[in-house]
């Protein structure tokens, strides 16, 4: 496992090296492109030489950086110094680009996101957060200098969004890197312990085999020195025992052996079984009787599990029995160890699958961060342009601000869902239970989302066969469940479709059904929808956004309420989600009557619905 862990780390380092190299040359290209025109304009001016020195310094730093990234060392202190030097040079390059550009270009500021991500992946959440903070300070410092001539420093508005993006990225990515490292460390410790046990077992086995092969005396005196336990007995009285048997049972001499009961050697639970087998042999009903898993009682009180056989023969002219037993204690331990190895191999395979899942998760999450960040960045640039050129178009400005607000909601929802999922895994969520009329909750939520439904050209129908049904629930979690299912129904329905919501009384339970006439789910993909980060159709999901976290949280919340959720769906026909919650039948319960849906939560949950 250690080798596999090192191999994986090496692959990550190699990928990061390629990305860093590309980033360096991209930075050099930006500098060259940015100043090629300016250099021509300055050829006959006194500023020409300083500009050329700065550009040359950038390219020299690129070369030094490339040399540092290719530096390999097993010394942790040296490696740490080299890594810090690498960070300093990257920060210097990106800072130089911002200073030399002398304008508020968001794309250049986002270069710092690259070093934040690579630092977090390589060194963890704390260095990643420190790098995000340092990058934020640099950006703020530069914009405070170059934006000081503005009455309203619009640079800072963009900076706040970018800084938030830096810090959120470092925290979320660093947290998942930490979880992954902890899991891999646990797997590594378990498999190292197992490897040591197998090694010790193989050493013992090899030692015994070498003794048997190299000891000529053992071959010449097979019976006397056999590792097997050999007895000769007649009428259940011992006549002979080899050295191995005498040692196990504390018999010092052959005189002491004579007349000793053969049955006294066995555990009381196996005496009747052995006795009946030997009787069958003596009566010539069979020529050989086999025993497996019987227990011998050693002289020191220990138990010895053996397998073997007894054979009828004549000794000194009288009917006699030869019994040979083999210690199977080590065999059973080996089988148990092999079983443990297989189980750990299965765990290793599951770990590999988990690693692959984590890679896909990072890819999915990065897309979910990238989309709103791009929108926020673009809107910020346009607003910045309006401010510089004094455009009086208030309506368009308001539209861009609304776009920024909507995408901030999307980022907040993603972070909240990730944190909630982590709490679910840790069992850290405690329900705030009160007795609520579930019919009122469902009806109020539907009323609060009508605008979203109508904006998509849809209609929604609510029906109930009961006006009052109380359940003990955490109203915030129930609200999250219903909003997630309703937002999915809206997203995956086309204009003109109808969404049906129904509350049904089932005596001890209450059913809440949310049904749409949208695209539906293929039958072979039904098992995936409640898996965290599960994707029924990656292409379709990308068109409608989402991480696959929502339904996993929905299922967890429902089960926390001792309820259940099921789905019925047909492709191109629609889907129906049915939530079953336990109702309260006591009419004397304390009831909670006040419920108002949270507008902020609704806006956040529906933030990716255009």
Which letter does DSSP use for residue 152 in this model? S
Phi, psi dihedrals of residue 138, rounded to the nearest 5°: -60, -50
Q: What is the pLDDT of residue 458?
A: 92
Has residue 12 got a pLDDT over 80?
A: no
Q: Alpha-carbon torsion 490, 493, 497, 503, what sign?
A: negative
Q: Alpha-carbon torsion 84, 89, 93, 98, what sign?
A: positive
CATH 3.30.450.20, the chain: domain bounds: 218-327
Within 13 Å of residue 563, how many CA atoms lie on the same side as its CB?
A: 26
Q: Alpha-carbon torsion 411, 415, 421, 427, what sign?
A: negative
Q: What is the mean pLDDT of residues 347-351?
A: 81
Has residue 6 got a pLDDT over 60?
A: no
Q: What is the pLDDT of residue 2?
A: 46
Contact 212, 234 (CB under 8 A): no
Q: How far apart are CA 205 and CA 12, in angstroms?
A: 40
Average pLDDT for the chain: 76
Q: How far apart are CA 508 and CA 167, in angstroms?
A: 48
105-143 confidence digits (pLDDT tens)? 666 777 777 778 777 877 778 888 888 888 888 887 777
Has residue 423 got a pLDDT over 80?
A: yes
Comparing 50 with 504, the larger pLDDT belongs to: 504
425-438 confidence digits (pLDDT tens)? 788 888 889 899 99
Q: What is the pLDDT of residue 34?
A: 59
222-259 confidence digits (pLDDT tens)? 777 677 888 888 888 888 888 887 887 777 777 777 77
Q: How far apart are CA 554 and CA 565, in angstroms?
A: 9
Which letter does DSSP use for residue 583 in this model? P
Q: Alpha-carbon torsion 446, 447, 449, 455, what sign?
A: positive
Where does the pLDDT of residue 408 fall: very low under 50, low under 70, confident under 90, or very high at 90 and above? Answer: confident
81-98 confidence digits (pLDDT tens)? 767 777 777 777 777 777
Domain 434-605 in this protein, CATH class: alpha beta
Instruction: Give the strand order in the sheet containing 318-327.
Output: 237-241, 229-234, 318-327, 303-315, 288-297
CATH 3.30.565.10, the chain: domain bounds: 434-605
User: Who contacts 595 (Cβ-Cβ below 8 Å, separation ≥6)?
Assistant: 436, 440, 441, 444, 475
Nearest to 228 by CA among 312, 328, 301, 334: 328
Has residue 578 got a pLDDT over 60?
A: yes
Name the CA radius of gyration of the chain, rounded: 38
Has residue 36 got a pLDDT over 80?
A: no
Which of 30-34, 480-484, 597-601 is predicted with the least confidence, judged by mean pLDDT?
Answer: 30-34
190-223 confidence digits (pLDDT tens)? 878 888 888 887 888 777 766 655 554 555 467 7
Q: What is the pLDDT of residue 142?
A: 76
Q: What is the pLDDT of residue 516?
A: 92
Question: Which helix (DSSP H) or strand (DSSP E) does residue 208 occupy?
Answer: helix 154-214
Token readout for 38 is: 């300016």
Has residue 460 got a pLDDT over 90?
A: yes
Contact 237, 262 (CB under 8 A): yes
Has residue 609 got a pLDDT over 50?
A: yes
Strand-pair partners of 234: 237
Has residue 487 got a pLDDT over 80?
A: yes
Quickly count: other Cβ atoms within 10 Å of residue 350's Cβ: 11
Q: Alpha-carbon torsion 273, 278, 283, 286, what sign?
A: positive
Which of 44-48, 365-369, 512-516 is predicted with the least confidence, judged by mean pLDDT?
Answer: 44-48
Domain 218-327 fold: Beta-Lactamase (3.30.450)
527-549 confidence digits (pLDDT tens)? 778 876 555 444 444 444 455 67
């Amino acid at each position: 496992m250690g080798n596999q862990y090192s191999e994986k780390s090496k692959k990550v380092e190699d990928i990061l090296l390629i990305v860093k190299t590309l980033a360096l040359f991209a930075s050099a290209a930006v500098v060259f492109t940015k100043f090629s025109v300016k250099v021509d304009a300055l050829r006959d001016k006194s500023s020409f030489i300083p500009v050329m020195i700065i550009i040359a310094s950038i390219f020299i730093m690129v070369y030094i950086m490339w040399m540092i990234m290719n530096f390999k060392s097993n010394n942790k202190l040296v490696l740490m110094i080299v890594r810090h030097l690498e960070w300093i040079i990257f920060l210097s390059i990106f800072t130089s680009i911002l200073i030399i550009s002398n304008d508020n270009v968001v794309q250049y500021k986002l270069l710092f996101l690259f070093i934040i991500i690579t630092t977090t992946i390589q060194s963890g959440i704390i260095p990643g957060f420190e790098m995000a903070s340092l990058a934020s300070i640099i950006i703020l410092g530069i914009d405070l200098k170059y934006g000081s001539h503005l009455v309203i420093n619009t640079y800072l508005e963009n900076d706040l969004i970018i800084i938030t993006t830096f810090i959120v990225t470092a925290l979320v990515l660093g947290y998942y890197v930490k979880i992954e490292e902890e899991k891999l460390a646990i797997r590594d410790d378990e498999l190292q312990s197992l490897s040591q046990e197998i090694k010790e077992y193989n050493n013992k086995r090899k030692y015994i085999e070498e003794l048997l092969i190299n000891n000529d005396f053992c071959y010449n005196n097979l019976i006397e020195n056999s590792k097997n336990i050999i007895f000769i007995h007649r009428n259940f009285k011992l006549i002979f025992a080899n050295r191995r048997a005498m040692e196990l049972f504390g018999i010092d001499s052959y005189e002491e052996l004579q007349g000793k009961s053969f049955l006294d050697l066995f555990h009381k639970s196996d005496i009747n079984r052995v006795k009946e087998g030997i009787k069958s042999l003596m009566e010539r009903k069979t020529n050989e009787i086999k025993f497996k898993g019987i227990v011998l009682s050693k002289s020191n009180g220990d138990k010895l599990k053996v397998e073997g056989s007894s054979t009828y023969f004549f000794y000194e002219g009288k009917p006699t029995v030869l019994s040979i037993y083999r210690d199977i204690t080590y065999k059973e331990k080996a089988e148990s160890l092999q079983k443990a190895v297989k189980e750990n191999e299965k765990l290793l395979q599951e770990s590999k699958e988990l690693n692959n899942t984590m890679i896909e998760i990072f890819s999915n999450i990065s897309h979910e961060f990238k989309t709103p960040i791009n929108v926020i960045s673009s809107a910020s640039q346009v607003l910045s342009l309006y401010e510089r050129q004094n455009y009086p178009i208030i309506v368009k400005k308001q539209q861009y601000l609304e776009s920024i607000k909507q995408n901030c909601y999307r980022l907040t929802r993603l972070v909240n869902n990730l944190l909630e999922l982590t709490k679910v895994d840790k069992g850290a969520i405690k329900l705030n239970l009160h007795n609520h009329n579930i019919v009122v909750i469902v009806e109020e939520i539907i009323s609060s989302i009508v605008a979203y439904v109508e904006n998509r050209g849809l209609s929604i129908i609510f029906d109930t066969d009961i006006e009052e049904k109380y359940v003990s629930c955490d109203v915030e979690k129930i609200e999250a469940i219903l909003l997630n299912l309703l937002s999915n129904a809206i997203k995956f329905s086309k204009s003109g479709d109808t969404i049906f919501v129904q509350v049904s009384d089932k005596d001890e339970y209450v059913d809440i059904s949310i049904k749409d006439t949208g695209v539906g789910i293929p039958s072979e993909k039904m098992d995936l929808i409640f898996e965290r980060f599960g994707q029924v159709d990656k292409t379709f999901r990308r068109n409608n956004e989402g991480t696959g976290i929502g339904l996993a949280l929905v299922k967890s919340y429902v089960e926390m309420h001792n309820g259940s959720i099921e789905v019925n769906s047909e492709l191109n026909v629609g889907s129906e989600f049915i939530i079953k919650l336990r109702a309260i039948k006591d009419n004397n319960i304390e009831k909670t009557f006040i419920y108002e849906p949270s507008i902020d939560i609704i806006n956040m949950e529906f933030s990716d619905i255009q």
